[in-house]
Structure 1
Amino acid sequence: MDGTASVHLTLAVCDYEHVREIAQGLVRADGITLTPLIFPSIEEITFRFTKSLEWDVSELSFGKYISLASQGSAPMVAIPVFPSRVHRHSAIYVRGDRGIRTANDLEGRAVGIPEWAQTAGIYVRGFLAEEAGVDLTKIRWLQAGVNEPGRAEKVELKLPAGIRYEPRPDTSLSAMLASGEVDAVISARAPTAFAPGGPVVRLYPNYRAEEERFFRKTGIFPIMHLMTMRRTVFEQHPWIAMNLFKMFEEAKRRCFNRLRDFTCARIPLPWAAAIADEIAAGYGPDPYPYGIEESRPTIEAFCRYAHDQGVTHRRMAVDDLFPPEVRATARV
């Protein structure tokens, strides 16, 4: 970039190791001056950004973004930077006294969800339907806050025929799970009713093995959140999208270099460097890819899941989600 004045942007993102150097100002984007706002969890970021667009660049739930984009009402533009990717077979909590041993045992049951459009739930229902053959219309879905009452959907849904969905603002998923009003909960955040020695257990106790099997079969590494920016900012300065992408890539590269450093303990876990190499052996040289082509199977599956479940109002294609400026990167 030349010596012209930089564009000042505010950035809201969770506290991740792979964005740490951005927050510290050690990794910068050309032509951009950032004021980073670091949050402990995604819920507040998503609530405030979808409601009021309080900052220029924001981490956002993939489920919320794809729903808004499908309605033609998204006041934000996405960048293919995915700060949170998490396999979600671990996110199904069941009462151990209800005879639920397999995914198909969820049929005929009451299942709690924090939001129908929560990204984790979209993936879980997707693999339940496609991989396990679960009929989602045979489940009674109760929507409530995970550990507090009053949570509501943040986007307009277009639920398929046959889906039985009931908001319960008066209670929480944890309370309903503890009382037995629901038989299971699907949630990214663990309900407080899930405690050692208690009646609530995971449907997949050995969830890592299930997730590894799922990844080997499908190539899907679930994207939970992506980075977005206010549409008005992007339209005024379209070049900032790729510059931000490059900034996040560099911060992630430095993070993996730290994780693979045997010189000292960069994170307080034994064999962290060996674990990083082990994961890279299964996932490739970049086990946590940004960019569209690197994640196309995952994004295509999410578009399909979201449409089939009525989170989106029309079937979205991968390229519908990102502007042309970030659909490819320069190679040397």
Structure 2
Amino acid sequence: MLTLTLACAAYDRTRPLIDGRVAIEGVALRATTLHPEAAFARAKAAEFDLTELSLSGYLRSLDAGNPAYVALPVFPSRAFRHSGIYVHAGKGIRSPSDLRGRIIGTPDYKTTANVWIRAFLDHDHGVQPREMQWVEAAMEAGEPGPAAATAIPGVPIRALPDRDLSAMLARGDIDAVIGAKVPSSFGPGRDAVVRLFPDSQGVEQDYYRRTGFFPIMHLLGLRRQLHERHPWLAEAVCQGFEAARRMALQDIRDVCQLAATLPWVAAEYQRTVDLMGEDYWPYGLDANRELLRAFARYHFQQGLSGRQHDPGDWLAPANFSSNRITTRPA
């Protein structure tokens, strides 16, 4: 029995592993729940045996060669990101094309969310990153700012380490903010900041219908030394995470006791299935190959990786069809 440490967020799809309802065959798991950003930071020192990783960050690590973690085809975080563009209401920005020539703020140009946002701005609306002026700064006052600006050839990016984007956007010092975080200057009673796409859910659903992509944000990393020493381990880990994912979906479908603090969670689940099918959050390479290839292409096109990394080259193979799953009473 191997004892492994795990760092990840306490999602519904990881919680069965964290609380012990699901076990990984041959593994005693010691889980630490962390915000993803904290997990990413601690992964730089390879602190945990298993860890949640940024998809963009992992592709960047491949350029350096032999990253500390082997990527497993387990994707604990996905999100549509059309809702992640916030604009100043008084700047006349009504459509993506209005972003040309504007000052766009983001906490970190390199994040996975930003790669997806820039990709749909470019491929769906013809607005390329080099047509905007970029600033990197903390989203909120008191948060750490960038030590230096991200360097991308042909794209103007500057760092403002002592400023915060939320206040800058509200004042009109910048024109827009993009990213995964919601600026505090957006919300009820705060009229200076609005979303570029007011019906972002409708836009995201249309994006899914056209592309079939439910964007992946994060993946799971297994310490490379463990992967090389124990060839069976990657598949056992994947099987455990798959069992936890299935359990989360079953909990959502259970109307006797609601898994989430939402009154119509079961109805929302059914609307999602009607649009995206039963297996709308798949793990494994085969079900995600085209999506990951597209992301790798966007990543390369945006100057974030030195070459286009095909997912078949860097994802560890794993079989998700097996039923070798161990569950324990809650």
Distance 1:186 1:105, change over 3 A: same
1:266 deviation in Å?
2.7
Query: Are the aligned partners of 2:93 and 2:99 in contact in 1 as well (CA < 8 Å)?
Result: yes
Q: Are 2:271 and 1:275 equivalent residues in the alignment?
A: no
The structure 2 residue matched to 1:223, chosen from 213, 216, 225, is 216
Aligned position for 1:242: 235
The 1-side partners of 2:151 and 2:320 are apart by 35
Aligned position for 1:24: 19
1:228 deviation in Å?
0.5
RMSD over aligned Cα atoms: 1.8
**SS of 2:6 mapped into structure 1:** strand
Aligned position for 1:207: 200
**SS of 1:192 mapped into structure 2:** coil
**SS of 1:277 mapped into structure 2:** helix
Distance 1:132 1:249, change over 3 A: same
- Structure 2 length normalisation: TM-score? 0.92
Distance 1:267 1:150, change over 3 A: closer
Aligned position for 1:44: 38
Q: Are 2:326 and 1:321 equivalent residues in the alignment?
A: no
1:149 deviation in Å?
4.8
Which amino acid in structure 1 is aligned with residue 32 of structure 2?
Answer: L
Query: Are the aligned partners of 1:70 and 1:315 in contact in 2 as well (CA < 8 Å)?
Result: no
1:270 deviation in Å?
2.0
**SS of 2:14 mapped into structure 1:** helix
Aligned position for 1:165: 157
Q: How does 1:1-332 map to 2 (within 5 A)?
A: 6-39=1-34, 41-50=35-44, 52-147=45-140, 148-152=142-146, 159=152, 161-198=153-190, 199-323=192-316, 325-326=317-318, 328-330=319-321
Which amino acid in structure 2 is aligned with residue 200 of structure 1?
Answer: V
**SS of 1:307 mapped into structure 2:** helix
**SS of 2:23 mapped into structure 1:** coil
The 1-side partners of 2:25 and 2:95 are apart by 51
The 1-side partners of 2:65 and 2:213 are apart by 27
**Contiguous gaps of at least 5 residues in structure 1:** 1-5
Structure 1 consecutive aligned stretches of length 4 or more whose deviation exceeds 6 Å: none
1:236 deviation in Å?
1.5
Which has the larger displacement, 206-215 or 279-288? 279-288
**Contiguous gaps of at least 5 residues in structure 2:** 324-330
The 1-side partners of 2:178 and 2:14 are apart by 28
Per-residue deviation, residues 228-247 of structure 1 (Å, max 9, x unmatched)? 12212212223211111110
**SS of 1:17 mapped into structure 2:** coil
Query: Are the aligned partners of 2:103 and 2:133 in contact in 1 as well (CA < 8 Å)?
Result: yes
1:308 deviation in Å?
0.7
The 1-side partners of 2:67 and 2:109 are apart by 18
Query: Are the aligned partners of 2:40 and 2:54 in contact in 1 as well (CA < 8 Å)?
Result: yes
